[in-house]
């Protein structure tokens, strides 16, 4: 620790020595037509060796620019290069904002300065940025989906076709930090995971770290996916609409009118499935008097507003609302009369399921350019994940028989809910005060309220019975500070040390996560990377690990009596960017997990000591794990043909004393992904995605036996056997090879001058039967009805199917 | 507008364009070697007979049952015989001083109905396990499978019957107490007698007089339990005056507790499409799976009033 403090002091001393000698040039690089910031634009002083890359907000800083005339050049893939000649006088700082015009004509080859600059700048390995074009052109399931595209990257494994959850280098989805404009999203899925919650139309870029991420990110031990929404068009009002098989999407954006020196932009994007509306309309048009209404839909919308108060201060408001809703209402009224007994009854019964689940987030960010070298971002956010299953049944009525009358009423309600309410305040400082150093520091306080509960209520006219068998309320506060420095020791050698210190309110300990990154440029186009770090996590999901299909996640803070979970990451990598736009990356990693907890899978209820106890969410197995692997990535970053080929060799093992070491369900030894997008003409694109992977582990049945059961009747207890499978070691067999090939076609057209696209998606074109798991049944002798032994068949995932849609722009 | 109309029509036409996948059912083979699966129970109670069930596991490709046509007790019967059952084992239970040979009994007649018991019973009347004794089990089959077992007979449970009321009113509570045990779990079951006479002898109707049937696991050192009828919305048209409340207290050894209580609700493996499974737990059994346990019982009955 003492050495670390000395190091920081040294940086500050160097800063004061250098600070007065030269000028600093800073500013923003934006797209001319829309005003969107351009990340990783290359900004450099010609013939000087001085330069910088823009950050995700388009901001750049070039320090130590000597007096005199300099020529500054700004370039990035797909945009016209801009040059400007400046005069630096007496080390006076300059603020320059650039607007670059797009040169990209779809399908044409362009320079790859941006990609090269990104390669030069980024120290951390295992990082890939996906832009809008990649997301929109990759083959999709029904509609473009960020998670489906990320699933095709090396190191990312899938559990099944029905889930877009990300299993990254042995980490489960709860170990990934999924952020939308910096806000944590807890359940980023719709329809039980088939779709991710992010509307691709609104996404500007998604930054994915498969591991080894630096100290500025914390709280999770797996991967980082930071989704950055578009800021909105600062110049014109624009929009687009998209109709796919299941949903309609729309996006509107435009400038905020200038007022007393302020300016800004806004963007709103929304999506809703409409199959419920159509089915209900059809039912109405057919004059159906049925009570049936299609019960399910999901929606989401995102709002983003930027307001530049002056050149140094910007406020950004970001909001995301997304819900899945299952809404079932049945009601029935009956009237009857029995003339013989003179019995009359009027009855009303109702059955209601009201089940919404989803995320609501709000955030306000204040960016302050304190001086050209020091940028502060202060962020206040609230993210709420809510799952609430509310079931009601009631039966009531009145009766009369002769002169006697009466009434009755029975009602039963069942509530099951999990609410995670995350309130975060953080400040992050980015400082370019010392030549060849970029220092970042920050403070984050995160208060998370968990409320997991279950309630039953039964009532009739004279009695009410209320049960609350599960109530787990917790409040955790996670406070953390971080400091990291990116130090360009030489033009070829970059270090990125960092440290993150965390306090978790349920524990007495202080947790320290050291992070270290190193990058060495063997050549201008070839770099070696090494990363080592520790990553703590203070929350988990309490779902059974062998769940075949998962609709929702149950989040819990790490209990006070459980140790904080953590993982150590070790990554070695080589990265090569060829002159003809091919990126080749090879990485090997080892991850070690400690103090994981795995939910005990068993019966829901257990009676003990006069109380009904709900066990699934508070009984865990202590679990250890490791993951190791080798990943290869060939990525074509520009040109008429783009895409990547990724290969992953991976092994993940977990250890629970009950099972010993075993492969978790998501472990696949070999995975090959091929994703391609080719411009056949200026208007026609074809894209393809192919995935072949080793089968997933499953627990094989070895035989059958009779499980003995006892019926403890008070008169005469009895014992009997029920047939059960005798299973082998947990997950010791594997399902057959997974293979799926999807193809997408997209064509641009105009209709009375209105540009639009129409697209077709072919999913699983070979109609390969990919096994979700096996199902078993007895072979029956049709003559004697004897059960002749077991046979099995795969439970298939997606068959071949075709979807299509259109997307219009205005 | 035309585009949108065409698109809508197309979308919903094509939404049906999927190709169903034929399920390819295949035989399942496994290298599993069958093992013996025992359910052995020694009882000190005069109404609950000691018995040993000797079953074996089956491989995945073995048939589960066989259609049999046989003459039993003078009648021609056609039935499915379970292949889990091992009928030709040598089953010996011993208290260390004397061996008791259990014999296989395939059927019994109860209320003129023929039932398959498929269990091993001791035909003599000198089997008399006593609390604290250690009993052993030896099962050997002609094809060489062998298991052994051991159980220690639990102490006899003792209801404090003198503290129980003479009648039980269904709207009142009933305080039941017993002699506590320091090392053994017990289980108490309460129900009504008439339920046994509604429905057939096996599937009697517990919903008859619903709310009465209850069960409670008693941890060591617990000494009382307050029983009350649970809220029940079903009709109460039965004749209470002819019914009895049955109170049944059973002590058990550790093997029985572990198999039927502690781990009964903890399936080792479960899957949506697969069902439940396990590695086959064994308590009190060596060389196979299952349980060899012992129980002791005390019971009482109280007339029900309304």
- Tell me the per-residue pLDDT of A6-39, one tens digit each, with 9 for 90 and over: 555 454 444 444 444 688 899 999 988 888 888 8
Instruction: Please say whether the beta carbons of A556 and A452 come within 8 A.
Output: yes
Partner A, chain B 153-192, Cβ-Cβ below 8 Å: 187, 189-191
pLDDT digits (tens, 9 = 90+) for A430-476: 998 888 899 999 999 999 999 988 888 988 887 888 888 777 888 99
- Counting residues of chain A whose pLDDT is more than 70, the rounded percentage is 92
Q: What is the pLDDT of residue B199?
A: 56
Strands B289-305, B36-43: pairing kind: parallel
Residues of B with Cβ-Cβ distance to A728 under 8 angstroms = 30
B48 touches chain A (CB under 8 A): yes
Rounded to the nearest 5°, which phi and psi values hold at A35?
80, 5
Count CB atoms within 10 A of the CB of residue A739: 15
Is pLDDT of A527 > 60?
yes
Residues of B (189-248) whose Cβ lies below 8 Å from A: 189-191, 193, 196, 213, 215-217, 219, 231, 233, 246-248
pLDDT reading at B49 higher than 70: yes
- Sheet containing strand B26-27, strands side by side: A771-780, A787-796, B26-27
A730–B14 CB contact, under 8 Å: no
User: CA nearest A72: which of A40, A132, A25, A135?
Assistant: A25
Q: Under the phi-then-psi rule, with left for phi > 0, alpha for psi from -120 to 50, and beta for the rest, what region is A58? A: left
For residue A802, give the chain B residue with the closest CA: B17
In the numeric block, which tokens belong to residue A635? 């990525």
> Alpha-carbon Rg of chain A, whole angstroms?
30
Residues of A in contact with B191 (CB under 8 A): 713-715
Per-residue confidence (pLDDT) for residue B150, from 0 to 100: 97
Q: Is the pTM of this model over 0.90?
A: no
Of A130, A132, A131, A165, nearest to A148 by C-alpha is A165
Q: How many CB atoms lie within 10 A of CB A622?
A: 14
Inform me whether the pLDDT recorded for A415 exceeds 70. Answer: yes
Distance from B98 to chain A by nearest Cα, in Å?
A: 27
What burial class does residue B230 get, using C-beta atoms within 10 Å of its C-beta: 0-12 exposed, 13-18 middle, 19+ buried?
A: exposed
Contact B273 A774 (CB under 8 A): yes
Query: Which of A166-180, A513-527, B17-31, B87-101 is predicted with the least confidence, judged by mean pLDDT?
Result: B17-31
Secondary structure element (H or E) that encloses residue B5, with its range: helix B2-14
Q: What is the pLDDT of residue A169?
A: 95
As for the ipTM of the complex, it is: 0.90
Average pLDDT, integer, range A219-235: 92
Average pLDDT for A217-241: 91
Mean pLDDT calculated for residue range B242-271: 86
Partners of B147 in beta bridges: B139
| CA nearest to A352, candidates A277, A413, A417, A280 | A413
Residue (of A95, A97, A94, A84) closest to A31 by Cα position: A97
pLDDT at A685: 86
pLDDT of res. A6: 54
Does the beta carbon of B117 lie under 8 angstroms from any beta carbon of chain A?
no
Cross-chain Cβ contact A717/B248 below 8 Å = yes
The predicted-structure confidence for B131-182, as pLDDT tens digits, reads as follows: 999 999 999 999 899 999 999 999 999 999 999 999 988 888 899 999 999 8
Using alpha carbons only, give the angle A665, A668, A673 rounded to the nearest 5 degrees.
130
Residue A110 has pLDDT above 60, yes or no: no
The residue that leads in pLDDT, A444 or A639, is A444
Find, among A687, A689, A695, the residue nearest to A671 by Cα: A695
CB contact under 8 A, A708 and B259: yes
pLDDT at residue A651 greater than cutoff 90: yes
Tell whether the model's pLDDT for residue A634 goes beyond 90. Answer: yes
Lowest pLDDT segment from A292-296, A691-695, B94-98, B122-126: A292-296
pLDDT for position B7: 46
Q: What is the pLDDT of residue A79?
A: 85
Average pLDDT over all residues of chain A:
87
Are B289 and A805 a contacting pair at CB < 8 A? no
For residue B255, what are its two tokens? 């093997």
Pairing state between β A94-95 and A59-65? unpaired
Q: Residue A303 pLDDT more than 60?
A: yes
Tokens of A40: 């990783």
Kindly tell me if the per-residue pLDDT of B110 is higher than 90: no
Q: How far is CA A60 from CA A30, A55, A68, A493, A656, in A?
A: 11, 7, 20, 21, 49
pLDDT at B236 over 70: no
The predicted structure's pLDDT at residue B130: 94
The minimal CB distance from A712 to the residues B4, B19, B187 is found for B187
* Record: contact A778-B64, CB cut-off 8 A: yes
Q: Are A622 and A612 in contact (CB under 8 A)?
A: no
- What would you report as the CA-atom Rg of chain B, rounded to the nearest whole angstrom? 26
CB within 8 Å: B266 and A463: no
Q: In A667-737, at which residue ranges do the beta strands (DSSP E only) sit?
A: 670-679, 684-693, 697-698, 701-711, 718-727, 733-734
- Name the residue facing B60 among A546, A703, A724 (closest C-beta): A703
Residue B14's pLDDT is 45
Residues in chain A with CB shorter than 8 Å from the CB of B8 are 243
Residue B2 scores a pLDDT above 50: no
Q: Are B187 and B261 in contact (CB under 8 A)?
A: yes
- Cβ distance A699 to B66 less than 8 Å, yes or no, reads no
Tell whether the model's pLDDT for residue A167 goes beyond 90. yes
Minimum Cα–Cα distance from B234: chain A residue: A410
Mean pLDDT of A711-716: 85
Lowest mean pLDDT among A308-312, A513-517, B242-246: B242-246
The pLDDT, as a whole number, for residue A13 is 47
Beta-bridge partners for A346: A335, A398
Using the predicted structure, report yes or no on whether residue A601 has a pLDDT greater than 70: no
Are residues A719 and B39, on separate chains, in Cβ contact within 8 Å?
yes
Q: What is the pLDDT of residue B74?
A: 78
Q: In this complex, do A708 and B280 lie within 8 Å of one another by their Cβ atoms?
A: no
A756–B62 CB contact, under 8 Å:
no
Strands (E), A32-126: 42-45, 51-53, 59-65, 68-75, 82-88, 94-95, 98-100
How does B243-266 read in b/e, with b if 16+ C-beta sit within 10 Å? Answer: bbbbbbbbbbbbbbbbbbeeebee
Mean predicted confidence (pLDDT) in A635-645: 84
- The predicted structure's pLDDT at residue A200: 86
Query: Comparing C-alpha atoms, which of A765, A730, A729 is closest to residue A744?
Result: A765
> Given pLDDT bands bounded at 50, 70 and 90, which one contains residue A289?
low
Instruction: Report how far residue A67's alpha carbon sits from residue A65's, in angstroms, rounded to the nearest whole number.
Output: 7
For position A291, what pLDDT does the model report? Answer: 67
Checking DSSP bridges between strand B113-121 and strand B168-169, what pairing results, if any? Answer: unpaired
Q: Which pLDDT tens digit goes with each residue over A552-594?
A: 788 888 988 889 999 999 999 999 988 877 889 999 999 999 9
State the pLDDT confidence band at B206, using cuts at 50, 70 and 90.
low
């Amino acid at each position: 620790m003492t050495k670390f403090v000395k190091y920081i002091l040294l940086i500050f001393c160097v800063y004061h020595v250098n600070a007065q000698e030269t000028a600093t040039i800073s500013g923003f690089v934006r797209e001319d037509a829309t005003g969107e910031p351009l990340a990783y634009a290359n900004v450099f002083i010609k013939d000087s060796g001085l330069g910088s890359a823009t950050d995700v907000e388009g901001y750049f800083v070039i320090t130590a620019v000597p007096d005199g005339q300099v020529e500054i050049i700004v370039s990035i893939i797909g945009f016209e290069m801009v040059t400007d000649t400046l005069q630096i006088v007496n080390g006076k700082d300059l603020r320059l904002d650039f607007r670059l015009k797009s040169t990209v004509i779809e399908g044409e080859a362009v320079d790859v300065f941006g990609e090269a600059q990104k390669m030069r700048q980024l120290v951390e390995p295992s990082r890939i940025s996906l832009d809008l074009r990649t997301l929109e052109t990759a083959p999709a399931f029904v509609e473009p989906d960020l998670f489906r595209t990320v699933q095709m990257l090396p190191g990312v494994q899938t559990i099944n076709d029905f889930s877009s959850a990300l299993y990254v280098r042995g980490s489960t989805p709860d170990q990934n930090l999924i952020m939308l404009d910096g806000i944590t999203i807890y359940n980023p899925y719709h329809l039980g995971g088939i779709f991710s919650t992010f509307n691709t139309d609104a996404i500007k870029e998604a930054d994915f770290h498969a591991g080894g991420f630096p100290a500025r990110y914390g709280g999770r031990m797996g991967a980082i996916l930071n989704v950055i929404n578009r800021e909105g068009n600062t110049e014109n009002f624009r929009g687009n609409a998209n109709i796919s098989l299941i949903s309609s999407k729309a996006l509107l954006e435009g400038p905020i009118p200038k007022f007393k020196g302020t300016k800004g932009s806004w963007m709103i994007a929304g999506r809703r499935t409409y199959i419920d509306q159509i089915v209900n309309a059809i039912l109405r048009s057919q004059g159906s008097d049925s009570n049936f209404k299609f019960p399910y839909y999901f929606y989401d919308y995102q709002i983003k507003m930027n307001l530049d108060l002056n050149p140094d201060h910007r406020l950004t408001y970001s909001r995301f609302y997304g819900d899945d809703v299952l809404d079932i209402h049945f009601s029935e009224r009956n009237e009857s009369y029995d003339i013989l007994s003179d019995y009359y009854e009027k009855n009303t019964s109702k059955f209601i399921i009201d089940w919404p689940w989803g995320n609501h987030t709000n955030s306000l960010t204040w960016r302050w350019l304190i001086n050209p070298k020091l940028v502060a971002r202060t962020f206040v956010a609230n993210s709420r994940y809510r799952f609430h299953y509310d079931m009601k049944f009631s039966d009531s009525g009145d009766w009369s028989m002769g002169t006697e009358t009466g009434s009755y009423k029975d009602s039963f309600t069942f509530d099951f809910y999990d609410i995670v309410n995350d309130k975060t305040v953080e400040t992050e400082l980015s400082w370019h005060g010392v030549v060849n150093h970029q220092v970042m520091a920050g403070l984050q306080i995160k208060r998370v309220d968990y409320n997991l509960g279950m309630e039953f209520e039964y009532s009739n006219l004279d009695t009410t019975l209320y049960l609350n068998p599960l109530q787990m309320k917790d409040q955790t506060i996670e406070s953390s500070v971080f400091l990291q420095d990116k130090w360009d020791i030489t033009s070829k050698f970059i270090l990125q040390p960092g440290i993150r210190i965390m306090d978790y309110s349920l524990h007495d300990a202080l947790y320290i996560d050291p992070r270290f990154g190193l990058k060495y440029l063997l050549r201008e186009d070839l770099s070696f990377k090494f990363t080592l770090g520790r990553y703590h996590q203070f929350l988990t999901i309490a779902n059974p690990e062998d769940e075949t299909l998962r609709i929702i996640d149950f989040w819990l803070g790490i209990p006070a009596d459980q140790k904080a979970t953590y993982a150590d990451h070790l990554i070695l990598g080589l990265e090569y960017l060829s002159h003809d736009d091919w990126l080749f990356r090879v990485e090997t990693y080892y991850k070690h997990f400690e103090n994981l907890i795995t939910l005990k899978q068993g019966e829901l209820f257990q009676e003990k000591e006069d109380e009904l106890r709900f066990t699934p969410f508070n009984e865990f197995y202590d679990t250890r794990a490791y993951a190791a692997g080798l990943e290869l990535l060939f990525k074509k970053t520009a040109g008429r043909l783009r895409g990547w080929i990724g290969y992953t060799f991976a092994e993940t093992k977990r250890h629970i004393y009950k099972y010993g070491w075993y492969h978790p369900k998501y472990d696949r030894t070999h995975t090959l992904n091929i994703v391609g997008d080719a411009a056949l003409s200026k208007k026609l694109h074809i894209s393809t995605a192919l995935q072949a992977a080793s089968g997933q582990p499953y627990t094989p049945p070895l035989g059958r036996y009779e499980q003995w059961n006892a019926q403890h009747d008070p008169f005469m207890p009895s014992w009997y056997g029920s047939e059960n499978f005798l299973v082998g070691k947990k997950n010791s067999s594997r399902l057959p090879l997974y293979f799926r090939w999807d193809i997408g076609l997209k064509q641009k057209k105009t209709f009375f001058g209105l540009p639009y696209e129409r697209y077709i998606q072919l999913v699983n074109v070979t109609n390969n039967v990919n096994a979700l798991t096996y199902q078993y049944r007895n072979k029956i002798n049709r003559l004697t009805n004897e059960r002749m032994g077991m046979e099995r068949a795969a439970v298939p995932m997606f068959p071949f199917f075709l979807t299509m849609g259109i997307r219009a722009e205005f | 507008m035309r585009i949108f109309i065409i698109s809508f029509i197309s979308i919903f036409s094509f939404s049906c364009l999927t190709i169903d996948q034929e399920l390819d059912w295949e035989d399942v083979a496994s290298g599993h070697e069958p093992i013996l699966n025992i359910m052995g129970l020694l009882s000190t109670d005069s109404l609950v007979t000691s018995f040993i069930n000797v079953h074996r596991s089956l491989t995945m490709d073995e048939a589960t049952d066989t259609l049999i046509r046989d003459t039993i007790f003078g009648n021609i019967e056609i039935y499915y015989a379970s292949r889990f059952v091992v009928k030709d084992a040598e089953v010996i239970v011993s208290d260390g001083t004397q061996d008791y040979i259990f014999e296989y009994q395939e059927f019994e007649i109860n209320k003129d109905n023929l039932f398959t018991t498929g269990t091993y019973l001791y035909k003599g009347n000198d089997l008399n396990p006593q609390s604290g004794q250690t009993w052993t089990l030896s099962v050997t089959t002609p094809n060489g499978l062998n298991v052994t077992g051991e159980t220690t007979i639990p102490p006899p449970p003792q209801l404090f019957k003198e503290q129980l009321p003479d009648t039980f009113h269904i709207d009142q509570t009933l305080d039941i107490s017993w002699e506590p045990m320091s090392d053994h779990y017990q289980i108490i079951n309460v129900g009504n007698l008439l339920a046994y006479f509604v429905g057939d002898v096996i599937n009697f109707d517990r919903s008859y007089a619903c709310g009465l049937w209850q069960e409670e696991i008693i941890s060591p050192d617990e000494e009382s339990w307050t029983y009350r009828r649970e809220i029940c919305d079903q009709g109460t048209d039965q004749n209470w005056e002819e019914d009895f409340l049955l109170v049944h207290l059973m002590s058990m050894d550790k093997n029985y507790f572990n198999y039927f209580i502690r781990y009964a609700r903890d399936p080792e493996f479960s899957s949506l499409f697969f069902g439940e499974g396990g590695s086959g737990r064994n308590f009190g059994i060596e060389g196979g799976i299952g349980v060899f346990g012992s129980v002791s019982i005390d019971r009482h009955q109280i007339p029900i009033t309304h």
